[in-house]
């Protein structure tokens, strides 16, 4: 499974996370917004589409942050993670998932999928 995700930072240095629905795989965990790359899509097209669908947010500028493959018990996921900073992003939860802005130090305290650990480390390295 190929997935794109966005690390969106606001002017206060906070990162946007969303909570997965309880009835989904990895349900109840916090994650970076994004979703599956569909057949025929580029990574940027998939990221732009997913962010518009989930957050009603038009992605202006994003750069690659980290690409990892993580193996869970029953499947593997390729995570293609992008970073964008926007002074005042206006986001809306189109899919009714909880959203919250967290500062860098709070990222390690959130319950997130195992695949997100190297992403969090990459984010923390942005600040050093």
Q: Which of 3, 12, 36, 35 is nearest to 100 (CA)?
A: 12
Residue 27 pLDDT level (bands cut at 50, 70, 90) = confident
What is the predicted pLDDT for the residue at 114? Answer: 85
The structural domains of the chain, with segments of one domain joined by +, span 2-126
pLDDT digits (tens, 9 = 90+) for 43-93: 999 999 999 999 999 998 999 999 999 888 888 889 999 999 999 899 999
The CATH class of the 2-126 domain is alpha beta
Residues 6+ apart with CB under 8 A from 125: none
**Separation of alpha carbons 123 and 127, rounded Å:** 7
Distances (CA, A) of 102 to 3, 13, 30, 70: 22, 8, 11, 24
Nearest-5° angle of CA 57, CA 58, CA 64?
A: 105
């Amino acid at each position: 499974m190929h997935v794109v995700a966005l690390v969106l930072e606001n002017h206060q240095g906070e990162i946007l996370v969303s909570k997965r629905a309880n009835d989904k795989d990895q349900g109840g965990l916090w994650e970076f917004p994004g979703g599956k790359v569909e057949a025929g899509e580029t990574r940027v097209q998939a990221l732009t589409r997913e962010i518009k669908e989930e957050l009603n947010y038009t992605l202006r500028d994003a750069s690659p942050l980290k690409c990892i493959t993580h193996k869970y018990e029953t499947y593997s996921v390729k995570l293609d993670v992008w970073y964008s900073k926007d002074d005042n992003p206006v986001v809306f939860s189109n899919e009714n998932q909880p959203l919250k802005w967290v500062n860098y130090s709070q990222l390690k305290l959130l319950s997130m999928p195992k695949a997100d650990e190297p992403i969090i480390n990459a984010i923390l390295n942005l600040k050093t």
